[in-house]
Structure 1
Amino acid sequence: MKDCSFTIYIFILGALLSSVGANDSDNEIDIESLLRSISASLTVRGEPAVIDRALQIEGGLLESLENEIPVYQSDSGDVSRTAFTDGPELDGPKVQTKYGVLKGLTVDKAHIFYGIPFADPPVGALRWKPPTPVTPWKGVYDATFPRPACMQACSGPISDECPAKVSEDCLYLNIFVPLDVNFTSPLLKPLPVMVWIHGGDFIAGSASKPLYDGRFISNFTHTVVVSLEYRLGAFGFLVSGKDPKTSAVGNYGILDQQAALLWVQQNIDFFGGNPNKVTIFGESAGAQSVSLHLMIQSSQPLFRQAVFQSLPFSIPLKTRHDALKLGKSFAKLANCTIKDWACLKPLSSQAVLAAQVKAGAKIVNPFRFLEIFETWGPYIDGELIKEQAVTAFQKGHWQKEKPVLLGTTSEEGVIFVYGVFTKPVSVVECTVYTTAIFKQHALKILHKYLPLFKAKDCRAMLAQIVTDFVFLCPSRKSARAGTASGSSVWMYVFDHVVADHRVWAGLSSCYEHVCHGAELPFLFNSAAVANFTLTLPEKLLANRVLCYWGAFAHAGDPSARVEQTNFCQQQRPPAWPRYSDTSSWLLMNLTVHSHAQAGSRDRLCDFWDKLGIY
């Protein structure tokens, strides 16, 4: 396409946007209409997105949502826990914690303790409050089954991916322990601990999702694995004011994660774990959470090192102003005002969730509309979270002494773009969308990418732009900034297409692609749960991924030789060099023939770095 054509398209869009004038509400309505098609079927963060359903909920459907959500808690805030055993003793390991005795179960590959409370239920007067320490219990706590997930919308065409049970009473964690751990005598050498933070756009997901079965990692890597729940959506991130006594002040979900990490510090030694050797790891929104804990000073003593997988660095956290604007919309939809705490506080769980879904369908700031991909979530409150993660990592405002392993999949953007655009996108439409997102930088971006894609359908190009701008290139820049400040950093790209082309974990739009979350069935060795069968080379890849993550948990280096399984000792995976200029910026390509390589998209990342917009 010629330069003049680009200019014409951009001029037309500029005229369209400027025609809405200085009226902020008019701007919001017009741009929201323009973007509604972009997010109408959005699926995000490796989990089924609630926002796509929110955009489709109209009229009576929204009202019916309150009656459809399975909530396992009374509106009064009273929670009935059938958690204690008073009858005949059942077989299973028992552990004495600081809060009481737990009884778990022993299965193939691991001892499991499900549904351990790490804070009191955040219900009634404790809703929209920081988590409070769990109340000690008498008797034996039954930790043989998972508890309900945190509140989320579970209706519509992808409800099969949602948890079967949800509740406000959801602050629980699961622990997976290798079979050779004897709980009756302390280990001479406690095991490393790996704490998993699930993704789901901060509105969906669960630690107990079958895909995240931690027994495989625990057994293979010889570590204690912990997975935790945290409040989601409006329950975890509503902001209605500044005074915590008379308003919701947000970021409760991040505080829940901190409370779980503190519980691990206080209790994991009872399970054979070493509290001084904790690795936190997560994918997508879970990776965002990991990055925030590396920035939050009060999280510093709670873990030793970190792994973030598919961190969407370029999706901005909300400012306080925008978080309050979202809270105002939420309150109005709940038939309250943002300052009427007496109205907001006693809302039923269903009413909160219904207002959350409807509020999440709106664009809060039409000039920063990438936020629509993460409507609810952490915000910059100036105290707990002081800046954007991408800014903190580039400026060195994080815990640089901690080893970090990070990476992306090779086609992160496919699930987003093809999930949104079910029909081909023309060059004209592509130009409009690119300009709406990147404004004055659109011409340079289109000049860079259009020559690389010859098809009339521009979706492949848009998917690559999302991959590069949101995930890969800001991760690369942050990794290089970390190494420049003396940090130990390892970087990877997961680059393997599943051999039998089946789909998993809700990634149905990623047929024959290496999409967002594609590494999860390999990392958790849960391919059967994820609905595909591994070939022998793929099993080798899954084992190598576990060797790398396990070695990192044991020694802070994915190439270290440590006591894991015989496989890691006998079939030692290829060496994974630290990411630095002395190694020519080599990263690990994780595929059936894993190997260290230079970045395949370095020229495009150089372009984005120079553009300076993340």
Structure 2
Amino acid sequence: MFCPTTLLLSLGICLVQAAVPSPATVDSDLWLLFQNDLDWHTTAEHESSILLSSRSHFDALSACAKLNEGLTPTNGTFFQSDIQKLLAFISLETEASPSQRYWIGGGASVHGQTCPAVSKSGLSTAACSEILPVLCTNSAPNKVSGETDLSPTWQVQVNSGKLSVTGTRDHLSFRFLGIPYANEPARWTYSSLYTGAPRISALTFGSPCAQNNLNGQENCLFLNIFTPFLPATGKPSKNLKPVMFWIHGGAFTGGEGSDSIYDGGSLASRGDVVVVTINYRLGALGFLALSDGVTNGNYGLADQVCQVTALKWVQEHIASFGGDPSRVTIFGQSAGAGSVRALLGSPPAFGTFSGAIAQSNLAGFAYASTYSEYFTIEQEVEVAAGKFVVEVGCGNGTSTEVLDCLRKVPWQTLQTAADAPRYVVVDGTFIKRDRLSVDGKGPVASNAHVIFGWMAGDGADFAGNFPQSTTSQTLSIEGIPIAANLTAAILQSGLFPRPSTANETLDTFNVTARVASDGEFVCLDQATAHSGSLHNVFKSMWTYQFERSYMGFEPIPGICDPPATATHPFGDPSLPYFQCHSGELFFNFGTLGQSSMPFRDQFDLPFEQITVDAWTSFARTFNPNPDATFLAARGYTNTTTALRQWGLWKDVNSREPVRILSWPSRGSGWLEQEQCDLLGFPLDFYEH
């Protein structure tokens, strides 16, 4: 619709919107800018803006009005604290002159000849007819994940190919939730790229995949996009952002991309990246393999990577949402890290990503082994599937009859069966070898830059049952479980000394947790990085150990929380506690302050900032050390100071191959080498 000139000039906004706006509506890229310091206590002190392409002041008012916004005002803290940083960032990213002026709000001169503008030098004016880029307000409210304001006022439309996708925005990013990336597949068939209705409402999350806690549905192949940038439709853009493609964990039996921890708004706004989170089929529905020549498994893995599903969808459509398909980093934690590891050796995935971060990849003892050492289909049948088909009542008949029977069983029965398969297998297409070829002898994504890392206490949650006061150290260690002769060797070696505190039970568990952390995470992730670097199979290789955590996976109540004190009622992270599995996730995503979760000490917030800056730096440059010019332009002084004081994160070819991520952070040599040798997982494990 048309808004009268007098109304535009006096209010700077037309409040009536005829249709959902898009970049085409205003003939411009939409770049959402927010100076995100990740401190949710002060979010209201930072205003959000949308940058539009150059036009006259009158046209600027009209364009902002089409977004249900006005020109950014000159009052408030935005002009006191944020504007110079954002203009410096715009200049860095677009190579605009430091003297470049931008239209902002305020009245025209008496004769309507000059209008207010701003540059890095401060407030100024320009002839109203001059053609300048535009700063519109973004008055969409800040909401935690799952509470997005669905008002039509904030909605936005993206057209990509035949698709028309309606999403929304909040204070941090444009959000497109619950986009179907695949047609709903029949059970135990590989998914195919979405060809359904072209008009998609992406305002709310789609269903999680059916899982063993009886949550979810079978129709679940949805992805979510959090982006700071929407390019003008049909126009090539030089400003596409790197893409971070998240694969959730959950033992291949649970989890969802819509978990509030994984909200991508903070990564998008602080790191200037596009975040994609996905669902993929789980448990028996995602990983059943049978010796029938038809049911070959890896359906959940194929959902992530197959030439016609999630990563393919990203390659085809992400540019329309502001993402650069040539700069995709896959990252995942736990089973998600196992997925990253598998995709690094999966030929159909090659070329769809250039970076990979595996957080807490399991490998080694017992339960952990199957995430990095893959069964053949025959082995999977022997270990799980053969028992599974009997458990669900389909054990009799020909292979065709068995499969027909399975397709009629309620998904709840399939997913909760005791032997429901959850294993990546060697199927000959997606996985061709029983392990990732870091020895250079098999298929590998050689174009990728790679990070492997783990929590310092990752194994505490995988160390068997918490011992009782009468549990011996031998029984506690064997609960992992490991062989009795290895238990004896561990106890006799002196390499896993038992603490001596007033808590005998916890002292016993400390030893067991250390054995489990080494034997299920540290040793073989280090060996992976060492061998990958030795054979130059990746473009670069980095590792870390996280030594600060927040909550995490806690099957044993209380052990993952630092003790509370009078000065630190929410826990003192400087005191001993287990840095447990999943304890890094709030820091990775910058979501620590959401849901009223408190900062425990003066370091939680700056550590969160530094972590987000490292992860998004890797997405931008494939180096976890943020570029100094980027940090300066954005005003990220905590990260700048920390890197100057602590030194840079070095790759595995250095004398400090492991980055200890803590406060302060530091470089380290390979960890626990004697312990790993004793456990049978030496640094050269993958050389044999």
TM-score by length of 1: 0.74
- Which deviates the most, 537-546 or 344-353? 344-353
- Measured after TM superposition, the shift of residue 544 of structure 1 is 0.4
Structure 1 position 492 matched with structure 2 position 557: no
Distance verdict in 2 for CA 1:554–1:405, change over 3 Å: same
> Who is 1:477 aligned against?
527
Secondary structure of 2:310's match? helix
In 1: Cα distance, 2:520 partner to 2:649 partner: 25
Aligned-CA RMSD value: 2.8
8 Å Cα contact 2:174-2:226 kept in structure 1? yes
Distance 2:310 2:560 in 1: 33
Distance in 2 (CA, whole Å) between partners of 1:231 and 1:291 is 18
| Segment of structure 1 superposing worse, 280-289 or 476-485 | 476-485
Structure having the higher Rg: 2
- AA aligned to 2:380 is A
Give 1:103's aligned residue: 166
With over 3 angstroms needed to count, the CA separation of the structure-2 counterparts of 1:551 and 1:235, relative to structure 1, is same
Instruction: Say whether residues 1:358 and 2:378 are aligned partners.
Output: no
How has the CA–CA distance of structure 1 residues 407 and 530 changed in structure 2, closer, same or farther, with 3 Å as cutoff?
farther
Distance 1:515 1:424 in 2: 25
- Following the alignment from structure 1 to structure 2, what is the Cα–Cα distance between the partners of residues 243 and 424? 51
- CA offset digits 1:265-314 (Å, max 9, x no partner): 01100011110000000001000100111111121111011111001022
Give matches, 1:422-433, under 5 Å: 425-430=471-476, 432-433=478-479
Give the corresponding residue for 1:48.
none
The CA distance in 1 between the partners of 2:328 and 2:153, in whole Å, is 31
Q: Contact between 1:489 and 1:578, CA under 8 Å: does it hold in 2?
A: no
Shift, 1:132, TM fit: 1.6
- Give the C-alpha shift of residue 260 in structure 1: 0.2
Matches within 5 A, 1:457-606: 457=505, 458-486=508-536, 487=538, 488-498=540-550, 503=551, 508=557, 509-512=559-562, 513-529=578-594, 532-534=597-599, 535-561=601-627, 563=630, 566-568=634-636, 571-572=639-640, 573-574=642-643, 575-581=647-653, 583-606=654-677
Shift of 1:321: 2.2
Displacement after TM superposition at 1:323 (Å): 1.5
Separation in 2, partners of 1:265, 1:195: 11
Structure 1 SS opposite 2:471: coil
Secondary structure of residue in 2 paired with 1:103: strand
Distance, in Å, in 1 between the alignment partners of 2:223 and 2:281 is 13
The answer to whether 1:415 aligns with 2:422 is: no
Corresponding position of 1:329: 387
Identity %: 27
Preserved contact between residue 496 and residue 515 of structure 2 (Cα < 8 Å):
no
- Relative to 1, partners in 2 of residues 1:472 and 1:396: Cα closer, same or farther, differing over 3 Å? farther
Instruction: Find 1:292's aligned residue among 342, 348, 371.
Output: 342
Q: Which runs of 5+ in 2 are unaligned?
A: 1-150, 563-577
In structure 2, relative to structure 1, the CA distance for the partners of 1:492 and 1:613 (3 Å cut) is: closer
Which of residues 148, 151, 154 is equivalent to 2:207? 148
Q: Would the aligned equivalents of 2:394 and 2:405 in 1 still touch at CA under 8 Å?
A: no
Amino acid at match of 2:188: W
**Separation (CA, whole Å) in 2 of partners of 1:198 and 1:449:** 38
The one-letter amino acid of 1:453's match is R
**Deviation at residue 242 of structure 1 after TM alignment:** 3.5
For the structure 1 residues 417 and 567, does the alpha-carbon distance in structure 2 shift closer, same or farther, using more than 3 Å as the test? farther
When you count helix as a share of all residues, which structure comes out higher? 1
Tell me if the contact between 2:210 and 2:282 (Cα under 8 Å) persists in the aligned partners: yes
Residues 543 and 588 of structure 1, relative CA distance in 2, 3 Å threshold: same
CA contact (8 A) 2:499 2:510 kept: no
Q: Given residue 141 of structure 1, which amino acid in structure 2 is its aligned partner?
A: I
What does 1:37-48 correspond to in 2, within 5 Å?
none
With normalisation by structure 2, the TM-score equals: 0.66
Any idea what the Cα deviations from partners look like across 1:72-95, whole Å, max 9, x if unmatched? xxxxxxxxxxxxxxxx97641111
The corresponding residue for 2:355 is: 305
Deviation at 1:97, TM superposition (A): 1.8
Q: Which residue of structure 1 lines up, in the alignment, with residue 271 of structure 2?
A: 221
Matched pairs, number: 490
Equivalent residue, structure 1, for 2:182 = 119
Cα separation, 1, equivalents of 2:414 and 2:273? 41
Give the CA deviation at 1:336: 1.2
1:227 counterpart SS class: strand
Map of 1:187-202 to 2, 5 A cutoff?
Answer: 187-202=237-252
Residue 461 (structure 1) shift: 1.3
Q: Which protein, 1 or 2, shows the higher relative CO under an 8 Å CA cutoff with sep ≥ 6?
A: 1
What amino acid is aligned across from residue 208 of structure 2 in structure 1?
A
The answer on 1:387 being equivalent to 2:403 is no
In the alignment, the residues of structure 1 paired with residue 342 and residue 402 of structure 2 have an alpha-carbon distance, to the nearest angstrom, of 32
Give, in angstroms, the shift of residue 400 of structure 1. 3.4
Pair 1:93–1:349, CA change in 2 (3 A): farther
How big is the shift at 1:351?
Answer: 2.8
User: Partners of 1:288 and 1:262 in 2: how far apart?
Assistant: 20
Distance 1:431 1:190 in 2: 51
Deviation at 1:217, TM superposition (A): 0.9
CA distance in 2 between counterparts of 1:322 and 1:197 reads 26
Aligned to 1:75: none
Gaps of 5+ in 1: 1-87, 156-164, 362-374
**2-side partners of 1:113 and 1:433: how far apart?**
45
1:269 aligns with 2:334: no
Query: What is aligned with 1:46?
Result: none
Secondary structure of the corresponding residue to residue 246 of structure 2: strand
Question: What amino acid sits opposite 2:583 in the alignment?
Answer: A
Secondary structure of the structure 1 residue equivalent to 2:161: coil
Q: Following TM superposition, by how much is the alpha carbon of 1:560 offset from its aligned partner in structure 2, in angstroms?
A: 4.2
